């Protein structure tokens, strides 16, 4: 096995994983710093005897949005399929086309999320009309 192929395999599989880990760590660090700053401000306000504003710790209710999740899953599935099609075309390896079918899994999951979104939207309309 040549060093180029080892580096290629390593880069292909481990570089995206490392990138995701770095992005998650940066997001976690940002949120952690923000929470620490809010807690410090709260502690200083208490120590100084100042009133605490009601909006210091806003409620962070993140409602799950199946539309966003569906679009992301469909994009990931299409990206995976296009990746394997691109390999098959550029490397002239028709076996790589079999890998394109892997992209169907997240794509169909995305379609299911879109279906959930539209069904929930349809169910909410009669409830809103009843009010």
Residue-wise pLDDT for 91-117, tens only, equals 877 787 888 889 899 999 999 999 999
Largest CA distance in the chain: 73
Element (H, E) at 91: none
Q: How far apart are CA 60 and CA 88, in angstroms?
A: 45
Please state whether the predicted TM-score (pTM) of the whole model is above 0.85: no
- What's the pLDDT score for residue 128? 60
Query: Is the confidence at residue 75, as pLDDT, over 60?
Result: yes
Q: How far is CA 24 from the centre of its chain?
A: 10
- What's the pLDDT score for residue 3? 67
Q: How far apart are CA 70 and CA 79, in angstroms?
A: 14
Q: What tokens were used for 80?
A: 């995976």
State percent of the chain over pLDDT 70: 79
């Amino acid at each position: 096995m040549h060093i180029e192929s080892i580096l290629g395999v390593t880069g292909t599989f481990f570089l995206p994983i490392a990138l995701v880990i770095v992005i998650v760590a940066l997001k976690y660090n940002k949120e952690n710093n923000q929470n620490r700053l809010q807690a410090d401000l709260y502690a200083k306000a208490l120590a100084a005897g100042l009133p605490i504003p009601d909006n210091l710790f806003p409620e962070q209710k993140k409602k799950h949005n199946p539309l966003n999740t569906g679009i992301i899953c469909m994009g990931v599935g299409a990206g995976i399929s296009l990746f394997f099609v691109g390999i098959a075309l550029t490397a002239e390896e028709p076996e790589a086309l079999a890998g394109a079918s892997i992209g169907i899994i997240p794509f169909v999951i995305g379609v299911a999320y879109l279906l959930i979104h539209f069904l929930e939207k349809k169910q909410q309309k009669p409830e809103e009309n009843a009010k």
